[in-house]
């Protein structure tokens, strides 16, 4: 019954967008409660649909003809329903929190309108049943992120961060679109006879025809689609926009980093997992890029002093985990989708929680700089405790959600290595896990522990902000344990609904099909626990009230490594100063010259010829009556002579 | 009776003179005069043939033509006076404000 109203999951937030953007100015709190209610209704609907389809392991598929060979449709399978639940739930929390956080901002109505559209776009992306529709919502997500990151558009840094986010993700989007076009042309070439109601870019059709498309083409398609995911999900080397996206309100960061936007890339790869699996080498690219991003971003998270930037780098790092989790699917097949998406869901709970806590702290303290905080715990008990919950699960403390999901990815990465696909993802993942624990608790201790290092405002946030924090904290801590096995099973078998035969695809992709898992040594199983707890202890020894060491003992201002990290690997220098200003600007100048000289030149030349010709020709019209008269007389004379000759019988 | 051919010759001569003047002169008044000569050469033809046929229609026509020529001369000279006031000349080559 609920599934008949599935379209309302997206429809209601869009309605909220329309209402708040036009009427929000006249409503209390900018009409924010409309967005909250719409998102909450989406959550109720999603829960209802989940209840209907989970017991019998069904899927919902509705589709209608759109134009020529395309359709618009709704596909709710296990992969989509868990995403829908997560997005609606986390967004409800974030919007509720924003009611308190954005209080008093003159642009409140605009905020809630854009937030509503953002939510709608993400939900639409998740439940699309074909790649084209997914791409449309994908672009809408990009647009909303631009609007929201640049929400305080009068601030130059916010405007430039918005532009950066838009341009960098655009690089990925272009690749994504190229991937779709390549896939489409390949599918057209197959000359499939489609059953009634099936369309070319529908996921079902794509999965069905994977075995028919040439493998080298598959690899190209997969790499291009992955390019889109790299841009959206902030993977190396297109991660540079994510830390800058901090310029928006903290709730926007929470939305971008947790529920919407960045998870879209991971979702895309998960959605197209059969294609990646069938394409030779594609998953290897995913695994290596993801794992490298995980450790690369974690190292930068270690040295940042801006509380939101630390969290931003941790997001990049955790997204790297998710990608790596999908990538190591070369070893374990579709089960890795369950593992990776589980981390995605868990991550969105605790990352939303962490950002909202950080927002609560910033709201009270009035600064982003952790060096000016310290001892906040005394004044903000609830925020401190909920943030501790978020930090524990991010660090992978045993029995929290993050522990299960991250542990599973690391173990899968180990299997990936053990089966001879390469050890690098495992090493990166385990290294990043250690760094994650350290920087997370460095942040927590710096902010909440110790003595106040500056004279900041000391007050707890209102309950409309704390309520969502507590709910999210409960989920972040305890969601993992009861649900993990059934989750892996439920989402991991997602593609069975489409009749995808992974053994057949493995042959194309050049993976060996392994029956039964490789058994991991005991040390591998407990290593993540040791590393997680060890990292927390290391952070405590350096930064907490029980500190035994000073950070200055291992590093100093002159330490080149520290300098590189603080400079963020000179990415800014490489991207902006070298790549943008030298290479791109040079190309732009060259293109401009071609445009002016050759393209404009040709047009100008043609018009100059016409003008010159006309100018010469109009001299014929002298404007002197005598000239006309002469012509008339001469003409008349010639005519008369001709008539005379004709009457004399001369053949003319 | 003077033979018809002489009238026709006279008319042709006047027509040619008028046409020549029209093509060569630049002075507005001279041009008006040439136009008059042209008209009158036609009138001579009309009257001559009318007397020769004999049919009075031609003479009636000539009278109309003379009246018309008078009206035309009135309008023409009025224009020339205005032009003279504007430009201080009636040399038509100098009156070229609308020319390229």
Kindly state whether residue B56 falls inside one of the protein's structural domains: yes
Identify which of A618, A623, A629 has the shortest CB distance to residue B23: A629
List the alpha helices (DSSP H) in A76-107. Answer: 78-101
Do the chains contact at B100 and A621, CB–CB below 8 Å? yes
- Statement: residue A637 has pLDDT above 90: yes
- B67 occurs within a structural domain: yes
| Residue of A622, A626, A631 to mutate, testing the B interface (most B Cβ within 10 Å of its Cβ) | A626
Cis, bond preceding A74 (omega within 30 deg of 0)? no
Domain count, chain B: 1
Give the tokens for residue A642.
């001709």
Point out the least confidently predicted range of A104-118, A482-496, B35-49: A482-496
> Which residues pair with residue B27 across a beta bridge?
B91
CA distance A316 to A338: 20
- A617 contact residues in B (CB cutoff 8 A): none
Asked if A623's CB is within 8 angstroms of B96's CB, the reply is yes
**C-alpha A521, offset from chain centre:** 36
- What's the pLDDT tens digit per position in A80-113? 888 888 889 988 888 888 888 887 778 888 888 8
Q: Please list the residues that pair with A72 across neighbouring strands.
A: A64
> CB–CB of A236/A107 below 8 Å?
no
Contact A633 B93 (CB under 8 A): no
At residue B67, the pLDDT reads: 94
**Is A279 a residue whose pLDDT tops 70?**
yes
Rounded to 5 degrees, what angle do the CA atoms A217, A219, A220 make? 65
Residues 633-652 of A with CB under 8 A from B: 633
Token pair in block for residue A249:
């309100």
Q: CA angle, A390 as apex, A484 and A352 as ends, to 5°?
A: 90
CB A285 within 8 A of CB A327: yes
- Mean pLDDT on A238-248: 81
Alpha helices in A419-559 (DSSP H): 424-448, 463-478, 480-492, 502-509, 522-543, 551-554
Residues of B in contact with A624 (CB under 8 A): 92-93
| CA–CA gap between residue A408 and residue A393 (Å, rounded) | 14
- At A421 the pLDDT is 75
Domain boundaries, chain A: 2-188+201-558, 567-615, 622-652
Predicted pLDDT at A97: 86
3-state secondary structure of A341: helix
Cα–Cα distance for residue pair A100/A304, rounded to 1 Å: 28
Among A residues 47-86, those touching chain B with beta carbons less than 8 Å apart: none
**Which residue is closest to A627 within chain B, CA to CA?**
B23
Selecting from A618, A623, A630 the residue whose C-beta is nearest the C-beta of B23 gives A630
The overall pTM is greater than 0.80: no
Q: Look at residues A548, A509, A513 and name the one whose alpha carbon lies nearest to residue A214.
A: A509
What is the spatial distance between Cα B31 and Cα A242, in angstroms, rounded to a whole number? Answer: 88
Please check whether residue B92 touches A, CB under 8 A. yes
For A353-357, A572-576, B74-78, which range has the lowest pLDDT when averaged over its residues?
A572-576
Q: How far apart are CA A181 and CA A473, in angstroms?
A: 43
End-to-end CA distance of chain A: 94
* A and B: number of Cβ contacts within 8 A: 20
With beta carbons under 8 A apart, name residues in chain A contacting B92: 624-625
Q: For residues A419-441, give the mean pLDDT.
A: 83
Search chain A and give the residue with CA nearest B26: A626
Q: How many residues are there in chain B?
A: 100
Give B 4-33 residues with CB within 8 A of chain A. Answer: 19, 22-24, 26
Least confident of A376-385, A388-397, B5-14: A376-385
Residue of A615, A624, A631, A632 to mutate when probing chain B, most B C-beta within 10 A: A624
The reported pLDDT for the residue numbered A638 is 95
Give, for B45, the enclosing helix (H) or strand (E): helix B28-52
Please judge whether A626 and B98 are an interchain contact, meaning their C-beta atoms are less than 8 angstroms apart: no
B3 interface with A at CB cutoff 8 Å: no
Q: Which of B24, B92, B100 is the closest to A618 by Cβ?
A: B100
- What DSSP element (H or E) covers B93? none
Does A173 or A412 have the greater pLDDT score? Answer: A173
pLDDT of residue A517: 57
Please give the Cα distance from A487 to A172 (Å, whole number).
30
Average model confidence (pLDDT) for chain A?
83
Q: Which residues contact B59 (CB under 8 A, 6 or more apart)?
A: B46, B47, B50, B51
| Beta carbons of B23 and A619 less than 8 Å apart | no
For range B4-10, the mean pLDDT: 93
Of A623, A626, A633, the CB nearest to B99: A623
Any domain includes B100: no
Count of alpha carbons within 13 Å of A216, Cβ hemisphere only? 0
Q: Could A626 and B19 be called an inter-chain contact, meaning their C-beta atoms sit closer than 8 Å?
A: no
Cβ atoms of A63 and A73 within 8 Å: the answer is yes
User: Is some CB atom of chain B closer than 8 A to the CB atom of A104?
Assistant: no
Residues of A in contact with B24 (CB under 8 A): 626
Q: How far is CA B41 from CA A198, A628, A630, in A?
A: 93, 22, 19
Whether A240 has a pLDDT exceeding 90, the answer reads no
Question: Given a cut of 70, is residue A66 above it in pLDDT?
Answer: yes
Element (H, E) at A226: helix A215-232
Task: Tell which wins on pLDDT, A454 or A117.
Answer: A117
Helix (H) or strand (E) holding A199: none
Residue B99 lies in a domain: no
Contact A626 B23 (CB under 8 A): yes
Range of the domain at B69: 4-94
pLDDT at A640: 93
Place of tokens 């404000």: B97
ipTM value, please give it. Answer: 0.81
How far is it, in rounded angstroms, from Cα A554 to Cα A633? 109
Asked if A629 lies within 8 A of B98 by C-beta distance, the reply is no
Q: Which residues of B touch A628 (CB under 8 A)?
A: none
Q: A633, B19: Cβ pair inside 8 Å?
A: yes
Tell which residue, A529, A542, A541, A258, has the closest CA to residue A396.
A529
The pLDDT assigned to A514 comes to 59
Is residue B48 scored above 90 in pLDDT?
Answer: yes
In the structure, what pLDDT confidence band is assigned to residue A25 with cuts at 50, 70 and 90?
confident
Q: CATH code at B57?
A: 1.10.287.3510
* Token pair belonging to A418: 């053990």
Strand, helix or coil for residue B27: strand
Provide the 8-state DSSP code for A154.
Answer: T
CA distances from A492 to A79, A205, A341, A485, B4 (A): 8, 20, 9, 10, 121
pLDDT of residue A641: 93
Comparing C-alpha atoms, which of A283, A500, A537, A298 is closest to residue A412? A283
Q: Using alpha carbons only, how large is chain A's radius of gyration in Å?
A: 31
Burial A131-157 (b: 16+ CB within 10 A, else e): bbbbbebbbbbbebbbbbbbbeeeeee
**What is the per-residue pLDDT for B32?**
92
Q: Give a yes or no: residue B42 inside a domain.
A: yes
- Asked which of A220-229, A343-352, A375-384, A583-592 is least confident by mean pLDDT, the reply is A375-384
Residue A461 confidence (pLDDT) above 60: yes
**Does residue A210 have a pLDDT over 90?**
no
Enter the tokens of residue A625: 């009556």
Looking at residue A497, the DSSP 8-state letter turns out to be G
In the structure encoding, which two tokens stand for residue A628, read together? 């006309």
- Written in H, E and C, the secondary structure of A274-290 is HHHHHCCCHHHHHHHHH
Which residues are registered as beta bridge partners of A61?
A75
Please name every residue paired with A65 in a beta bridge, in sequence order, or none if there are none: A71
Mean per-residue pLDDT, A518-538: 78
**Cβ(A66)–Cβ(A118) below 8 Å:** no
For A135-155, the pLDDT digits (tens) are 999 999 888 888 888 888 888
> pLDDT tens digits, residue range A382-401?
888 888 888 888 888 888 88
B97 to chain A, any CB pair closer than 8 A? The answer is no
Instruction: Please tell me the distance in Å from A630's CA to the nearest CA on chain B.
Output: 7
Owner of token pair 């489609």: A194
**Whole-angstrom Cα distance, residue A464 to residue A461?**
8
Cβ pair A314, A301 in contact under 8 A:
yes
Q: What is the pLDDT of residue A556?
A: 63
pLDDT at B82 (0 to 100) = 93
């Amino acid at each position: 019954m609920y599934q008949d109203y599935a379209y309302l999951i997206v429809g209601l937030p869009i309605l909220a967008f329309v209402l708040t953007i036009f009427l929000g100015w006249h409503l209390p709190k900018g009409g924010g409660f409309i967005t909250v209610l719409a998102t909450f209704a989406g959550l109720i609907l999603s829960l209802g649909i989940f209840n209907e389809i989970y017991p019998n392991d069904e899927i919902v598929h509705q589709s209608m003809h759109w134009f020529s060979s395309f359709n618009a449709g709704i596909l709710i399978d296990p992969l989509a329903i868990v995403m829908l639940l997560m997005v609606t739930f986390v967004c409800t929390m974030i919007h509720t929190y924003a009611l308190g956080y954005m209080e008093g901002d003159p642009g409140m109505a605009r905020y809630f309108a854009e937030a509503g559209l953002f939510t709608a776009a993400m939900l639409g992306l998740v439940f699309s049943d074909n790649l084209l529709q997914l791409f449309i919502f994908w672009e809408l997500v990009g647009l909303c992120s631009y609007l929201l990151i640049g929400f305080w558009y009068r601030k130059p840094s916010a405007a430039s961060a918005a532009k950066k986010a838009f341009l960098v993700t655009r690089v990925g989007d272009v690749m994504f679109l190229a991937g779709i076009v390549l896939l489409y042309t390949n599918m057209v070439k197959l000359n499939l006879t489609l059953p009634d109601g099936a369309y070319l870019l529908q996921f079902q059709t794509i999965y069905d025809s994977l075995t028919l498309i040439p493998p080298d083409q598959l690899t190209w398609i997969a790499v291009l689609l992955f390019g889109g995911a790299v841009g959206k999900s902030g993977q190396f080397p297109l991660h540079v926009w994510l830390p800058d996206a901090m310029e928006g309100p903290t709730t926007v960061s929470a939305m971008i980093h947790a529920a919407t936007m960045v998870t879209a890339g991971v979702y895309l790869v998960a959605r197209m997992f059969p294609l990646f699996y069938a394409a030779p080498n594609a998953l290897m690219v995913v695994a290596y890029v993801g794992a490298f991003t995980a450790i690369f971003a974690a190292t930068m998270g270690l040295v940042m002093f801006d509380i939101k930037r630390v969290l931003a780098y941790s997001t990049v790092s955790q997204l790297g985990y998710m990608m790596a989790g999908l990538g190591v699917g070369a070893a374990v097949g579709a089960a890795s989708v369950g593992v990776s998406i589980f981390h995605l869901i868990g991550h969105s709970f605790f990352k939303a929680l962490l950002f909202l806590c950080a927002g609560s702290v910033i709201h009270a303290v009035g600064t982003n700089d952790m060096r000016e905080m310290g001892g906040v715990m005394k004044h903000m008990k609830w925020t401190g405790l909920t943030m501790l919950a978020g930090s524990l699960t991010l660090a992978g403390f045993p029995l929290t959600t993050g522990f299960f999901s991250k542990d599973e990815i690391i173990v899968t990465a180990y299997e990936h290595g053990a089966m001879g696909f390469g050890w690098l993802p495992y090493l990166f993942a385990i290294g990043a896990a250690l760094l994650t624990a350290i920087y997370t608790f460095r942040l927590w201790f710096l902010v909440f522990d110790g003595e106040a290092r500056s004279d900041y405002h000391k007050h707890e946030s209102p309950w409309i902000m704390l309520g969502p924090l507590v709910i999210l904290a409960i989920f972040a801590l305890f969601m993992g344990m009861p649900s993990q096995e059934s989750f892996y099973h439920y989402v991991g078998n997602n593609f069975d609904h489409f009749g995808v035969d992974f053994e057949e695809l493995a042959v194309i992709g050049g993976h060996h099909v392994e029956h039964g898992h490789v058994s991991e040594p005991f040390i591998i199983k407990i290593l993540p626990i040791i590393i997680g707890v060890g990292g927390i202890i290391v952070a405590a020894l350096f930064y907490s009230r029980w500190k035994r060491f000073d950070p200055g003992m291992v590093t100093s201002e002159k330490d080149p490594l520290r300098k590189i990290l603080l400079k963020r690997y000179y990415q800014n220098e490489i991207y902006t100063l070298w790549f943008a200003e030298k290479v791109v600007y040079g190309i732009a100048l060259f293109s401009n010259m071609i445009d002016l000289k050759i393209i404009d030149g040709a047009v100008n030349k043609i018009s100059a010829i016409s003008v010159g010709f006309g100018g010469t020709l109009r001299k014929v019209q002298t404007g002197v009556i005598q000239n006309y008269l002469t012509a008339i007389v001469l003409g008349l004379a010639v005519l008369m002579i001709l008539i005379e000759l004709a009457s004399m019988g001369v053949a003319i | 009776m003077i033979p018809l051919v002489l009238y026709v010759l006279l008319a042709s001569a006047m027509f040619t003179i008028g046409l020549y003047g029209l093509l060569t002169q630049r002075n507005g008044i001279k041009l008006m005069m040439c136009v008059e000569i042209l008209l009158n050469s036609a009138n001579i033809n009309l009257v001559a043939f009318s007397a020769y046929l004999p049919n009075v229609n031609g003479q009636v026509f000539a009278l109309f033509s003379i009246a018309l020529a008078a009206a035309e001369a009135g309008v023409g000279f009025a224009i020339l006076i205005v032009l003279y006031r504007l430009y201080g000349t009636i040399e038509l080559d100098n009156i070229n404000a609308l020319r390229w």
